[in-house]
Structure 1
Amino acid sequence: GGGQLSVPPGFRFHPTEEELLYYYLKKKVSYEPIDLDVIREVDLNKLEPWELKEKCRIGSGPQNEWYFFSHKDKKYPTGTRTNRATAAGFWKATGRDKSIHLNSSKKIGLRKTLVFYTGRAPHGQKTEWIMHEYRLD
């Protein structure tokens, strides 16, 4: 369902990148239970960034970060490129992927940074919306 997730007063969800990858994402892809299931699953192609605020809200306090799981949507059935378009715009990768290491040693995954543009590529209008996409190695 939509709306906010009910958590105790004062609860803040502020995981490290290692926790996001090694605990939440690893358990999610392994179909293992997560102790407090606070990360929603959404279809990024059907939601605009500003709609994620309500869909992925945790608790009632002010929030400027939202966490969610989303399956990658292929641009073409046989291709490797990801479709990152929505009705209002598109997510565009920026910079290079950053390696995430467990305990500063073992590489466990990567972080890709994307910026949302309204309109259609290549003439989109850059917005303030930023997304960090994590994937396991």
Structure 2
Amino acid sequence: MELPVGYRFKPFEDELVKYYLLARVTGNPMPWNPIIECDLYDVKTPGEIFDEASNQKVWYCFTRLKKRGKRVFRRAGGGTWHGQSSAFKILDRDNNFQVIGEKKTFTFDMKNEVKKCNKWIMHEFSLVGEYEGCDLVLCKIKKEALKDDGSVSQTCWQEQEANTNNNNQVEEALQNMEAFLMNDNEEAMQRDGRLLTNGNEEAMQRDGRLLMNEYLRLITDGGIRTNDGVDKASDNNADAVQYNSGFSQ
């Protein structure tokens, strides 16, 4: 399947790890896939593997690392892939910026090469977590034309600075988000606490007034009944006494 004119295969780094490398390792289907399978650590140089004469300047490939214990051998053809930076974390933008992979940068140096017109730079993506240590990696390889005053180390240093700044920005954004959520939760808890306290106080006052009113009503009703009973009993007793007295006389 060919991409329409004007379109380019240029996924983000977390997309390369999620939708291509992880899918390739687990055997799941991948989206439209221009990534080739090749052995970068064989007898061929990058210029022999990729079409250096074409206008294309970026290639993607799956390759397997050649390990002996924890050591990785990176010789290829008459040269070697040399590491230029420590691993950078690849964060999943769609899943709370969880770490899903790592990226390392390498340059290819030919033995006994005097004049360098082009330089091959490779970004190697690997998985972490459950599939950490898997020998299958995804590589993004590009050809850089070097100027007279330029250098590969300068190019890699600039990329490393860009990656560091990007990671710092992501970490700062995460810290700001956590601080915002914590403050928001605290404010919500305080607000809810005030509502509950005010609600309880109002309810207690309301219930207290109701109880007091009921108590007063009972006292009043009791007093009325008591007074009526006493008065009526007194009147009845007086009448009875007068009646009995008159009868006896």
TM-score, normalised with respect to structure 2 = 0.45
Tell me, in whole angstroms, the C-alpha distance in 2 between the residues paired with 1:95 and 1:24.
Answer: 23
Instruction: Quote the RMSD (CA, aligned, Å).
Output: 2.4
User: How far does the alpha carbon of each residue in 1:81-117 deviate from its partner, in whole angstroms, 9 at most, with x for none?
Assistant: 1111012100011121111101162001100001111
Query: Is 1:73 matched with 2:66?
Result: yes
Tell me, in whole angstroms, the C-alpha distance in 1 between the residues paired with 2:50 and 2:100.
Answer: 28
Q: Is the 1:102–1:108 Cα contact (8 Å) retained in structure 2?
A: yes
- Find the partner of 2:98 among 106, 119, 135: 106
Q: Name the SS for the 1:112 alignment partner.
A: strand
Query: Is 1:34 matched with 2:27?
Result: no
Tell me, in whole angstroms, the C-alpha distance in 1 between the residues paired with 2:35 and 2:6.
Answer: 18
Which residues of structure 2 form unaligned runs of 5+?
A: 129-249
> What is the one-letter code of the residue matched to 1:63?
Q
Larger radius of gyration: 2
Q: Report the equivalent of 1:93.
A: 83
Which structure: greater strand fraction?
1
> What is the one-letter code of the residue matched to 1:101?
L
C-alpha deviation, 1:11, in angstroms: 3.0
C-alpha deviation, 1:50, in angstroms: 1.3
Q: Name the SS for the 1:51 alignment partner.
A: helix
Tell me, in whole angstroms, the C-alpha distance in 1 between the residues paired with 2:107 and 2:45.
Answer: 12
Q: Name the SS for the 1:21 alignment partner.
A: helix
Which structure: greater helix fraction?
2
Q: Report the equivalent of 2:166.
A: none
C-alpha deviation, 1:63, in angstroms: 2.1
Aligned length in residues: 122
Q: Name the SS for the 2:83 alignment partner.
A: strand
Q: Percent identity?
A: 35
Tell me, in whole angstroms, the C-alpha distance in 2 between the residues paired with 1:113 and 1:52.
Answer: 19
Query: Is 1:21 matched with 2:12?
Result: no
* Higher RCO (CA-CA < 8 Å; seq separation 6+): 1
Q: Report the equivalent of 2:46.
A: 49
Tell me, in whole angstroms, the C-alpha distance in 1 between the residues paired with 2:13 and 2:39.
Answer: 22
Tell me, in whole angstroms, the C-alpha distance in 1 between the residues paired with 2:48 and 2:11.
Answer: 22
Tell me, in whole angstroms, the C-alpha distance in 2 between the residues paired with 1:10 and 1:54.
Answer: 21
Which residues of structure 1 form unaligned runs of 5+?
A: none
- Find the partner of 1:118 among 99, 104, 110: 110
Query: Is 1:134 matched with 2:131?
Result: no
Q: Report the equivalent of 2:7.
A: 11
Tell me, in whole angstroms, the C-alpha distance in 2 between the residues paired with 1:105 and 1:37.
Answer: 25
Tell me, in whole angstroms, the C-alpha distance in 1 between the residues paired with 2:36 and 2:4.
Answer: 18
